[in-house]
Structure 1
Amino acid sequence: MIDFINFNDRHKKFSSLLPHAKNVAEYLIAGLNIRIFEPTSVVEDVLIVYHGGGVNSDAGYDILAHQISHRGSICTCLIDIRGHGRSLGYKGRVSNPKQVWLDIDTVLEHVRVKFPSARIHLLGHSSGGGMLINYFTRFTPSQKSDSLILIAPEFGPFAPAKIFRRAMVPFASVSKWPFILNALSVGLLCGDSYAVTLNFPNEVMLLRPEFVQRYSVNMANALTPRQPARQIAALPLPVTVLIAEKDELFDARQLSEFVEGCGNPNLCSMIIEHSKHLDCIFDVSEEICQHLKRCISRQSIL
């Protein structure tokens, strides 16, 4: 099972140690909650961060935003996926998978207008990474982004079995028939049916009752790659995959081999030592900055 206790302990520690962030704004864009952490200097890069399954941007991502905002000219934007956190929509549901990907376009357009000269990068943690893979490979984006970062990405049930830890206690329980009927009907049936249960411990739900415990078929389809190997190979922009060494869900070495074996020349991967599936977001600020520097170097060469 995912180590929520360790995550909560580290979250409390970082929250007490990090200085209070300045220049933070929060508002809704087309029903989507966004928090923008601006640096004191001129913004050269914008990092748009999407959370993992069932949680929202309050689940430790503010720590990452604090860490990044103190590194100079990088602005961090935390987004609540529709149907999560303070974004609008029924919890865990969406009208159709495309709506989630359209929402990414909406956020990118807003950020591009607000910071017209900045480079814009997308970051997804866990299922947020799966959603961004779908955005680039099952959807035609209308907005430009400069790179992609995937942290402890969730590739879903269609990924090779070898990447999953054998002793893993599943975080999600799935009812298959709604997905089968939805696929056979080309999306017409069962899209609103709750078919995935996220197994948060009771003590977590007592502390965070806003977490989403059930996903509809449409929401799950929006976040889950169907052909992860082909989709990773097809990602059309620079990608860095950051893998948690002690991930409770995935074998880090096997996951790294799988990602590198997809053969995408735009992609590199790194294993983040000693980190787990959730708390790895506290350990990646240096690697994120290295990724941004590589993107700058790549653009200067081109």
Structure 2
Amino acid sequence: MRVILTLGGFGSVLTGAIECGPEARPLTRVLGGALVAVGLLLWWLVARLRRPGATSGRRAVPLTAAALAGLTGAGLVVALVPANLPVSANAPALSDDQSPTTPPEPDPTGYLRASDGTRLAYFADVPADPVATLVFYHGSGANEGAGYLDFGRQVADRYHVATYLFDMRGHGKSGGRRGDAPSRRQMFADTRTAVDFVKHTNPRLPEYVGGHSAGAGLVLNSESRIDHEVAGYVYLAPDFGLHSGTERHSEAANFATISHRVLIADVLTGGLLDAHAYAVAFAYAPAEIHRAGLVSRYTSTMAIAQNAGHSAAVLAGTHRPVGVWVGSDDEVFDPAAVRTFARHAPRATTQIVAGADHLGVINRSIDSVGTWLDRRAAAYSAAYPAAPQAH
């Protein structure tokens, strides 16, 4: 009993100490203080439960308590180390030479209600005779108004694909705390909400889903929830995850500054600690953050939701067509490595877009993406004759 109480006290004190870290919100610090108090109370009970006259094991509990107290102190020191995440990271920002100047994001076409009631903004371009639909997500810290709307318009106008570009929660015109989410599962449920809405609106059309950079990571993480409704996937400069081996080893790859302490605490405790502490900062210029409404920091929850940790298995397990485009001059990802990794998908089509960088691939891939979608829609129409015929 005494050993159990001693261990329980250690767990309570350590958990409370970490909860009182510098990124903690006021209510979280109150909870942390309460946990520390409970742990100390448990240790006091251990001391009171010593049996009169007992000699064996008298030293075991005090020594255990002392050792665990030392570990608790070490945990407290770690918890008090700041994440050191500035408003805008000091790493070089991505080149925007191939992108038009980003104005403030316009009003969206409409909003969906997420399963928790949060408003999710979307921008739709629907031609008169669509042959397919495309649900598409932006990259880290961005929004659909920051360089994606022209991509959606041109794919719709020139290739008759109805495009639905969604701002993730906590971004752009969507609701939610900036750069945060209640949970990773909620992010994946949001993707399912968007896919369901577009399928309900266009029930006879093949539906494709994709994203740029970390937006592709979110879709990959959501695939188990949406694959039954999806005809294929479109990935531009996709982030296949930290363990995919596709990142470049260069200064521009340091676009994100990471607090590993916060991420480790979140992962090791299953989200009990630091899930909503800021863990990643992006190298966006302050002027661009203000003008385009970019998000400069992510919490651990938001960052992990977009990190495709099992992308090789996900790609290998899908039998849908997967299209991957990456620029030859991408500053963040090695194009050859991305193309090789994408071949985990049995039906992968890959293309390195000549002269395009990480942001430039969005507009420089319009023709090839549109053609790919048009051809897949034609194959769908042949397989399902009741569907509208592709052009």
TM-score (norm 1): 0.86
Q: Match of 2:238?
A: 153
Distance 1:254 1:141, change over 3 A: closer
SS in 2 for 1:135: helix
Pairing of 1:1-302 with structure 2 (within 5 A): 1-7=92-98, 10-12=99-101, 26-30=109-113, 31-39=119-127, 41-136=128-223, 139-141=224-226, 144-160=229-245, 163-208=247-292, 210-260=293-343, 262=344, 264-299=345-380, 300=382
Cα pair distance change 1:150/1:54, threshold 3 Å: same
In the alignment, the residues of structure 1 paired with residue 369 and residue 238 of structure 2 have an alpha-carbon distance, to the nearest angstrom, of 15
Give the letter aligned to residue 336 of structure 2.
R
CA contact (8 A) 2:138 2:144 kept: yes
Change (3 A) 1:290 1:59: same
Structure 1 position 37, deviation (Å): 0.8
Q: Which structure 2 segments of 5+ residues have no match? A: 1-91, 114-118, 385-391
Distance 1:36 1:67, change over 3 A: same
Provide the secondary structure at the position in 2 that maps to 1:265. Answer: coil
* Cα deviation, residue 35, structure 1: 1.3
The answer on whether the counterparts of 2:93 and 2:283 sit within 8 Å (CA) in structure 1 is no
SS at match of 1:168: helix
Larger Rg: 2
SS at match of 2:198: helix
Q: Deviations over 1:103-138 (max 9, x none)?
A: 1111122112221221111120010001111111xx
Partner in structure 2 of residue 19 of structure 1? none
Q: Deviations over 1:33-81 (max 9, x none)?
A: 0111111x22221111110000100011111022112215311111100
Could you tell me how far 1:229 is from its partner in structure 2? 2.4
User: What letter corresponds to residue 78 of structure 1 in structure 2?
Assistant: L
1:182 & 1:252 partners in 2: Cα distance? 31
**CA-atom RMSD in angstroms:** 2.3
SS at match of 1:225: coil
1:93 touches 1:218 (CA, 8 Å); kept in 2? yes
SS, match of residue 237 in structure 1: coil
Residue identity in the other structure for 1:174: I
Partner of 1:21: none
Instruction: For residues 251-294 of structure 1, give each alpha carbon's deviation from its aligned partner in whole angstroms, at most 9, with x where no partner exists.
Output: 2122212322x2x2121211111111012111112211222234
Gaps of 5+ in 1: 16-23
TM-score (norm. length: structure 2): 0.68
Which structure has greater helix proportion? 2
Pair 214,234 (structure 1): closer, same or farther in 2 beyond 3 Å: same
Supply the AA of the counterpart residue of 2:97: N
Task: State the 1:2 CA deviation.
Answer: 4.6
1:204-243, Cα deviation, whole Å (9 max, x unpaired): 22433x2111101111111001133223322342111111
Comparing 287-296 with 60-69, greater Cα deviation is found at 287-296
